[in-house]
Amino acid sequence: MSKGTITNRGKFLKNIRGKIGGISPDKPVEKPDWTVNPQRRVMKDFDQDQLVEVLDKQCHHIHTDFFLTNSESLQETLDQVLASYQTRSIVYSSDNRFHTYQLPEFFKNFAKKPEHEVFKWNDENSEESISFSERADVGITFSDITLAESGTIVLFNRKGQGRSVSLLPRDYIAIVPKSTIVPRMTQATDYVHQQVEKGEEISSCINFITGPSNSADIEMNLVVGVHGPIRAAYIVVEDK
Amino acid sequence: MPMHIGEKDFKARVSKGLQDDFMRGAVRSAQGRLQNNRANAAEELGDWEEWRTLGQQIRQHTVEHLDYYLHQLSEKVAELGGHVFFAETGEEANAYIQQVAKDKNAKKIAKSKSMVTEEISMNDALEDIGCEVIETDLGEYILQIDDHDPPSHIVAPALHKNKEQIRDVFHERLGYAKTEQPEELALFAREKLREEFLSADIGITGCNFAVAESGSFALVTNEGNARMVSTLPKTQITVMGMERIVPGWEELDIVVSLLTRAAVGQKLTSYITALTGPKQIGEADGPEEFHLVIVDNGRSRILGTEFQEALHCIRCAACINVCPVYRHVGGHAYGSIYPGPIGAVLSPLLSDYDEYKELPYASSLCGACTEVCPVKIPLHEQLIMHRRKIVEDEKKSTLSERLAMKGFEQIVQSANLYRTATKMAPFLTTPFSKNNVISKGPGPLRYWTDARDLPQPTQERFRDWFKQRSERGDSE
C-alpha cells in the first residue's frame, strides 16, 4: 500500500501548539499513569464457568438467544437454531475453526435439502460474496474474543472474515468457543494495544457486536432489527 | 444544515417550544427513560465516580497534547494508505470533500450520523455539486425526509416527533401504507435504505473517537448503518472534530464504556466499529480508498482559555437528558444543533456571543449537568463564566438590564433610598398581583412571569420583622 497524503498539517498544528503551549511534534508525549483503573477490577478472579454465567444473563438484556453446548452436540444445537429461524440460506466466514468442529460437512448436508443454499465467504469473488450475504437468511461466524460483561462478539475482520457476514443477512449466529470469553472490553483493547506495541498490522475493521441491531429513534421505544441483523444467537461451545 | 437552526430570536424560539405540547410530552418521557437507564448503568458499575475520574484524566491529557496526538494519528493513517486533510474552517473541509466526490464522479452518497458534518453544512455543499446525500441513521432519515427538519437532540435527533407524525411523513413522502408501530416504521426504513447502501458511490461517517497510536477510529452505533456505510461503498470519508481523539486503545475502552452508559445506559451499544485505514489487499469488502478530514472550525479558539474543558465533551447528551430547562423548552429553542447545557457552553464559543448570548442564561444553574457529565466538565460553572464575560467584558447585556442594575446600585448605596424602595415595593406591585402572586408582570418582569409566578413582596420587611422580634425577646 503506498503512503497516503497529508494536507495542511503544519499550519493547523502550529496554531494549536500556540494555544496550548505544546512541544515539538517529534518529541514524544509520555502518557501519564492514570491514578485509577477501575476497569481492571471487573470480574478479575472469575473462572470460565462464571464468565459463561455472566454472558448468559447479559444475553437476556440484549435480546440475544443463548445456547451452551459441547463439540459433540454443536451440530445438533446449530440445526435447532437454524430451524427456529426458518433458515434456508446460510453464509459463513472462511475460518479454519469451522473445520475443527466439522461444520462444513454439516453445511453440505444442510444444502442438500430442497431450496437450501450455503455459501462460504470467498475473497476472490467479492461481488458474489456480498450479494449472497445480502440475500442470506443467516450469517455465521466464530467469535475471536467474547466479552462477558456486555455480551459482545469481537470480530477481527480480515481475509476470509468478511465484514458483511455478520452484517447483511437477516439473522446472525456467533459460535463462541468457551476459551474466547474474557471479562470485558479491557481485555480486547489490551490485545490490540499489544499488537500495536509490537508493530504488528492490526485488522482493518474490528467489530464489537452486541446482539441484533436496534434503534430507539422513534419515541425512544426500542425497536430490535434495523439495518443489521434482526435476530442474534450465541452458541457457546466447550473447546475442542 | 448550519450550526444555527430555527428563528433568529431566542424568545420567539422559546415561546414556540413552550407552546408545543406534543414535543414537551415527548421530551419529558424520553428524559425520564434516559435518566433512569443512565443511573442504573452507573449504579451497576459500582465505582462510577472512579470511572469518571479516569475519563476526565484521559480527556484532559489528550486535549492538553492535542497537537502531538493529531500528528501521530495523521502519520499512522497515511502509513496505511489513507489520506488526511486538516481543515481550519468548514468551507475548507467542504471544498475538500466536494473535490473527492468530483474525482470519484460520485452521484450518491450514504452518510451515517455525524454532528460535525451538520455543523459545517456538508450536505448542502455536496448537493450544490449535484450529489444526492442520504442520511441513514433512522432519526436523521426521518428528519431529512421531512423537509430537513432540524435535530433537537445530539443522540436522538428526532426526539421531538411522535410516531404518528413519523407515519404521516413516511406516507406523504414515500407512500408508506402501514401503521404507526415503531417496528413497522423501522422495517420500512430498513428496506428503503438497503437499496441506497448497495448503490452508494461514497460512504461518509463521523467519528466518535480516533485512536492516535494506530490511526484507527471508532464508531459507536446501534442500528448498523455506520457499518453499512463503511463496508459497501468503494470510497469512504470520515469527518472528525479535531478534539475527538484518545491516545491509545486502553483509553478507547474507557471513553467508550463511559459514552454508552451515559448516553443510553447500555454496557456497549450494538456496534462499536473500529476502522483502521482502507481495506487490506485481498479483502473482499470495505473501502478501497479512505479519507480522514480533521475539522477545527472554531475549536482552537477555545484552547488555552477558561473554556478548554468544553473540548473534553464526548457527546453523550447526559447533561441534556437531566436539564430542567431543556425539558421545558425543547431542543429547537436553543437555536443550535448543540442544545442543552453543553450546547449553551459550546455554541457561543464555536459561533459568537452576538448569535448565542442568551444561551448561558437558559439555565437554572442547578448543576445537574455537571453532576452527570461522565468526564466531569464543570458545565454550570462554565455557564457562569460565560455570563460574566457577556456582562463585564463584552457589555452585551440588554439596555434595560444595565439600567436596572444601575438603579439597583444607586438604591443599595443609599440607606434612605433603600428604606423607601423596600417599603414601596408591596404597594407598587399590588395592581399586578393576585393571592400574593404576580402572574402577569409589567415590563421586564413579563419574561419571568410568562413562564412562572413571582411571589409579591410581603408587607413586612425582614429588617422590621427582625427588629420587632428582638424587642419582644422571642426565642425558640
Tell me, yes or no, whether A24 lies in a domain.
Answer: no
* Grid cell digits, residue B65: 497534547
Residues of B in contact with A136 (CB under 8 A): none
Pairing of strands B235-241, A89-92: unpaired
Report CA-CA distances (Å) from A46 to A151, A183, A185, B47, B411.
Answer: 16, 8, 15, 18, 70
Arithmetic mean of pLDDT, B230-247: 97
The number of C-beta contacts closer than 8 angstroms across A and B is 310
Arithmetic mean of pLDDT, B425-446: 77
Q: Which amino acid is at B130?
A: G
Arithmetic mean of pLDDT, B144-163: 91
Tell me, yes or no, whether A6 lies in a domain.
Answer: no
Find out whether B319 is annotated in a ligand binding site: yes
Q: Is A123 helix (H, G, I), strand (E, B) or coil?
A: coil
Total Cβ atoms within 10 A of residue A150: 23
Residues of A in contact with B282 (CB under 8 A): 123, 159
Q: Say which residue the cell 436522538 belongs to.
A: B156
Find out whether B323 is annotated in a ligand binding site: yes
CB under 8 Å to B414, separation ≥6 — which residues? none
CB contact under 8 A, A41 and B216: no
Does the pLDDT value for residue B294 go beyond 70? yes
CB contact under 8 A, B276 and A206: yes
Task: State the Cα–Cα distance between residues A52 and A43, nearest whole angstrom.
Answer: 12
CB contact under 8 A, B273 and A206: yes
Out of B79, B182, B269, closest to residue A3 by CB: B79
CB contact under 8 A, B296 and A12: yes
Nearest to B269 by CA among A207, A173, A233, A172: A207
Closest-CA residue of chain A to B277: A204
* Grid cell digits, residue B352: 459568537
**pLDDT band per the 50, 70, 90 thresholds, residue A237:** very high
Nearest to A139 by CA among A110, A161, A111, A172: A172
Question: Model confidence over B20-50: pLDDT tens digits?
Answer: 988 898 899 889 889 999 999 999 988 999 9
**What are B433's strand-pairing partners?**
B438
Mutate: best of B57, B63, B66, B68, partner A, most A CBs <10 A = B68
CB contact under 8 A, B81 and A163: no
Question: Model confidence over B190-221: pLDDT tens digits?
Answer: 999 999 999 999 999 999 999 999 999 999 99
Nearest to B4 by CA among B90, B63, B78, B87: B90
Tell me, yes or no, whether A35 lies in a domain.
Answer: no
Shortest Cα distance from A59 to chain B (angstroms)?
Answer: 12
Q: Is B137 helix (H, G, I), strand (E, B) or coil?
A: coil
Report the pLDDT value the prediction gives residue B411, as an integer from 0 to 100.
83
Report the pLDDT value the prediction gives residue A189, as an integer from 0 to 100.
98
Report CA-CA distances (Å) from B396 to B350, B386, B400.
Answer: 18, 11, 11
Does the pLDDT value for residue B475 go beyond 70? no
Report the pLDDT value the prediction gives residue B404, as an integer from 0 to 100.
80
Arithmetic mean of pLDDT, B66-93: 97
The enclosing domain of A142 has a CATH number of 3.40.50.10420
CB contact under 8 A, B227 and A207: yes
Report the pLDDT value the prediction gives residue A224, as an integer from 0 to 100.
92
Arithmetic mean of pLDDT, B252-279: 96
Residues of A in contact with B264 (CB under 8 A): 216
Residues of B in contact with A8 (CB under 8 A): 85-88, 92
Task: State the Cα–Cα distance between residues B27 and B22, nearest whole angstrom.
Answer: 9
Task: State the Cα–Cα distance between residues A202 and A162, nearest whole angstrom.
Answer: 15
Contact A54, A43 (CB under 8 A): yes
Tell me, yes or no, whether A9 lies in a domain.
Answer: no
Residues of B in contact with A23 (CB under 8 A): 68
Shortest Cα distance from A50 to chain B (angstroms)?
Answer: 18
CB under 8 Å to B201, separation ≥6 — which residues? B104, B105, B106, B107, B108, B109, B233, B234, B235
DSSP, residue by residue, B366-422: --HHHHH-TT---HHHHHHHHHHIIIIIS--S-HHHHHHHHHHHHHHH-HHHHHHHH
Report the pLDDT value the prediction gives residue B57, as an integer from 0 to 100.
98
Does the pLDDT value for residue A236 go beyond 70? yes
Mutate: best of B79, B268, B311, B312, partner A, most A CBs <10 A = B268
Find out whether B131 is annotated in a ligand binding site: no
Shortest Cα distance from B274 to chain A (angstroms)?
Answer: 5
Q: Is B204 helix (H, G, I), strand (E, B) or coil?
A: strand
Angle CA B293–B299–B300, to nearest 5: 100
Q: Is B343 helix (H, G, I), strand (E, B) or coil?
A: helix
Task: State the Cα–Cα distance between residues A85 and A74, nearest whole angstrom.
Answer: 17
Residues of A in contact with B219 (CB under 8 A): none
Task: State the Cα–Cα distance between residues A174 and B204, nearest whole angstrom.
Answer: 28
Question: Model confidence over B313-356: pLDDT tens digits?
Answer: 999 999 999 999 999 999 999 999 999 999 999 999 999 999 99
Nearest to B292 by CA among A197, A8, A13, A25: A8
Shortest Cα distance from A120 to chain B (angstroms)?
Answer: 13
CB contact under 8 A, B68 and A22: yes
Task: State the Cα–Cα distance between residues B310 and B295, nearest whole angstrom.
Answer: 16
Total Cβ atoms within 10 A of residue B429: 18
* Grid cell digits, residue B279: 481495506
Question: Which of A7-11, A226-230, B185-189, B455-459 is least confident?
Answer: B455-459
Report the pLDDT value the prediction gives residue B1, as an integer from 0 to 100.
60
CB contact under 8 A, B268 and A152: yes
CB contact under 8 A, A227 and B252: no
Q: Which amino acid is at B148?
A: H
Does the pLDDT value for residue B88 go beyond 60? yes
Does the pLDDT value for residue B400 go beyond 80? no
Report the pLDDT value the prediction gives residue B352, as an integer from 0 to 100.
93
Report the pLDDT value the prediction gives residue B410, as an integer from 0 to 100.
83
Arithmetic mean of pLDDT, A174-182: 98
Tell me, yes or no, whether A32 lies in a domain.
Answer: no
Q: Which amino acid is at B446?
A: R
**More confident site: B336 or B413:** B336
CB under 8 Å to A226, separation ≥6 — which residues? A213, A214, A215, B138, B186, B189, B190, B222, B223, B224, B225
Does the pLDDT value for residue B458 go beyond 90? no
Tell me, yes or no, whether A5 lies in a domain.
Answer: no
**pLDDT band per the 50, 70, 90 thresholds, residue B435:** confident
Q: Give the sheet arrangement for strand A138-142, strand by strand.
A: A64-69, A231-237, A171-177, A138-142, A89-92, A117-120
DSSP, residue by residue, A27-79: SPPPPPPPS--GGGGTTTT--HHHHHHHHHHHHHHTTEEEEEE-TTTHHHHHH
Shortest Cα distance from B367 to chain A (angstroms)?
Answer: 25
Helix (H) or strand (E) holding B131: none
Question: Model confidence over A29-73: pLDDT tens digits?
Answer: 889 999 999 999 999 999 999 999 999 999 999 999 999 999 999
Out of A189, A203, A225, closest to residue B250 by CB: A189
Task: State the Cα–Cα distance between residues B206 and B337, nearest whole angstrom.
Answer: 15
- CA within 13 Å, CB half, A181: 29
Report CA-CA distances (Å) from B229 to A153, B76, B208, B285.
Answer: 20, 22, 15, 11
All domains in chain B, ordered by first residue: 65-301 (3.40.50.10420), 414-472 (no CATH)
**pLDDT band per the 50, 70, 90 thresholds, residue A179:** very high
Pairing of strands A145-147, A152-157: antiparallel
Q: What pTM, to 2 d.p., does this model score?
A: 0.92
Closest-CA residue of chain A to B308: A20
Nearest to B296 by CA among A26, A4, A14: A14
Does the pLDDT value for residue B476 go beyond 60? no
Q: For B14, phi and psi rounded to 5 degrees?
A: -65, -45
**pLDDT band per the 50, 70, 90 thresholds, residue B474:** low
Report the pLDDT value the prediction gives residue A23, as an integer from 0 to 100.
62
Contact B342, B312 (CB under 8 A): no
CB contact under 8 A, A38 and B51: yes
The total domain count for chain A is 1
Out of A123, A196, A216, closest to residue B284 by CB: A123
Q: Is A135 helix (H, G, I), strand (E, B) or coil?
A: helix
CB contact under 8 A, A20 and B33: no
Question: Model confidence over A102-143: pLDDT tens digits?
Answer: 999 999 999 999 999 999 999 999 999 999 999 999 999 999
Residues of A in contact with B270 (CB under 8 A): 62, 209-214, 228
**Domain span at residue A167?**
43-237
Q: Say which residue the cell 467474547 belongs to.
A: A146
Shortest Cα distance from A186 to chain B (angstroms)?
Answer: 6
**More confident site: B23 or B78:** B78
Out of A4, A167, A190, closest to residue B84 by CB: A4
Mutate: best of B222, B245, B303, B375, partner A, most A CBs <10 A = B222
CB contact under 8 A, B67 and A17: yes
Tell me, yes or no, whether A174 lies in a domain.
Answer: yes
Contact A206, A200 (CB under 8 A): no
Nearest to A197 by CA among B66, B69, B214: B214
A27-52: b or e for each residue (b if 16 or more CB lie within 10 Å)? Answer: eebeeeeeeeebbeebbeebebeebb
Q: What average pLDDT is seen over chain B? A: 92
Question: Model confidence over A19-35: pLDDT tens digits?
Answer: 988 666 667 888 999 99
Does the pLDDT value for residue B428 go beyond 80? no
Contact B230, B275 (CB under 8 A): yes
Helix (H) or strand (E) holding B346: helix B340-350
Shortest Cα distance from A29 to chain B (angstroms)?
Answer: 7
Q: Give the sheet arrangement for strand A181-182, strand by strand.
A: A181-182, A145-147, A152-157, A205-209, B271-276, B216-221, B209-211, B245-246
CB contact under 8 A, B78 and A36: no
Question: Model confidence over A204-232: pLDDT tens digits?
Answer: 999 999 999 999 888 888 899 899 999 99
ipTM of the complex: 0.97
Tell me, yes or no, whether A29 lies in a domain.
Answer: no
- Cα dihedral sign, A80-A84-A89-A95: negative
